[in-house]
Structure 1
């Protein structure tokens, strides 16, 4: 019988770092260092890609490309990309340890899934070197998946499916129908769809919401519901099979997916 045997989690904005703040400030400061202001919304838009591709995506945005041309009298080139990526890394590594706290209910929910025999994989837009900082810090705070795959040594990162396939190999999961990809960005959703696995987006704590936990709690209920609805709509428009408010809903959703597959 087909059933979910493996959940593949994203990291920042999904499992740790509520609101996915560690990379955002580093992208903003990296571009500020060459005299170009980018907004938090712009910095978040390509989130989930490998970080070098994220820098390329920022330069490719019309407004940012035009600002560079205006300031330097020439189009940006790969050297400029590499320069901003190097500065991004320097800034990120200086603060990364501070952004490794597990998001609410992640630890308890992962324990529940493991009790059902479900394996926990993970993919990320971070490099292996970045994850060498994040993994032990998150583990010390109670979150430790069974496997972590970065795009290092693979043909590409998100939205391509290779990190999911590598998790399936590492964890000996034989069928894509038994895999659920769970993440907080549009790139996560595209990664899951391209791998042909069940794909679930999460709203609270996500890069797409872009708010701290305190900011979420302080919002008037009507505005919070409106913002959550916007994120939900974007994720469904990107092709997500399901979108949940928080990870607390995942065990029950998995039971629904299992029942759905049993009836097909």
Structure 2
């Protein structure tokens, strides 16, 4: 009996059971344009000017926490003090969030184009019997607009967890990743892979006990649209990719690749390591 159990355990332990993807910058919306530009626009309605680079800083957090983090930035808080003659409060975070939400809902479908190779990767994972989960810093109201547009183009994970629907909170905590584990019926988090383009998303996967894969080129860290990418000096692009890769590795990514199109080779590599008895 013990020998049979050990043989079964070995057989199961060398197979990736589930992959949990982020959305913007990972599966759709190359360079994660939708949320960043809307943060800039929402703050501007309060007379506060922030750059796209500043807006990208806390990417990966839930959108309310993202706003809270931006307001805590010294240069932005100084603008708030000059504009309103007082420090910002939780009520101000709520006010910016309420301004942000309808703007994001209105625009998110415009940024639903799949990243090249994403639909094919999901199809390949399904063909191998690997479950597909996902989670996002987007609130559920925003995902409800994004998901049908993405599904029509082949991006339809088995599970979707929004950034505002778990009482325990979002990233960098492990909660959304673990909610996927429960919903998908995954038996071992060590046979799960979390794929994300942000530091909080990688930290989420590590805290959940999973393998983690960072995406450098397509995501928030490089921050260049496809059009900008084509117009930028290749040496500058490479420098940005290297900086992004280093940040993702420092946050704990086991692997860093440029886009999701490169992901199948990573699955194969992780399965080989699982077969050797390695864990995340």
**Structure ID, larger Rg:** 2
1:111 corresponds to which of 123, 146, 149? 123
1:176 corresponds to which of 189, 202, 220? 189
Alpha-carbon contact 1:154-1:162 (below 8 Å) kept: no
CA distance in 2, matches of 1:250, 1:153: 28
Q: SS in structure 2 opposite 1:14?
A: coil
1:95 corresponds to which of 76, 98, 107? 107
| Deviation by residue 1:107-133 (Cα, 9 ceiling, x = unmatched) | 111111111111110010011111111
2:271 paired with 1:258: yes
CA distance in 2, matches of 1:96, 1:250: 25
Q: CA deviation at 1:196?
A: 1.2
CA distance in 1, matches of 2:155, 2:206: 26
| Deviation by residue 1:62-99 (Cα, 9 ceiling, x = unmatched) | 11112111222111001111111111112111211111
CA distance in 1, matches of 2:84, 2:66: 21
Which blocks of at least 5 consecutive residues in structure 1 are unaligned?
Answer: none
Corresponding position of 2:249 = 236
2:28 paired with 1:13: no
Corresponding position of 1:219 = 232
2:97 paired with 1:72: no
TM-score w.r.t. the length of structure 2 is 0.91
CA distance in 2, matches of 1:203, 1:78: 33
CA distance in 2, matches of 1:198, 1:68: 41
Q: SS in structure 2 opposite 1:59?
A: helix
Q: CA deviation at 1:225?
A: 1.4
Q: SS in structure 2 opposite 1:75?
A: coil
2:60 corresponds to which of 41, 44, 48? 48
CA distance in 1, matches of 2:237, 2:95: 38
Q: CA deviation at 1:100?
A: 0.8
Alpha-carbon contact 1:48-1:185 (below 8 Å) kept: yes
1:25 corresponds to which of 29, 37, 41? 37
TM-score w.r.t. the length of structure 1 is 0.97
Corresponding position of 2:262 = 249
CA distance in 1, matches of 2:276, 2:232: 41
CA distance in 2, matches of 1:174, 1:202: 26
Which blocks of at least 5 consecutive residues in structure 2 are unaligned?
Answer: 1-9
Corresponding position of 1:165 = 178
2:51 paired with 1:39: yes
For this pair of structures, how many residues does the alignment match? 264
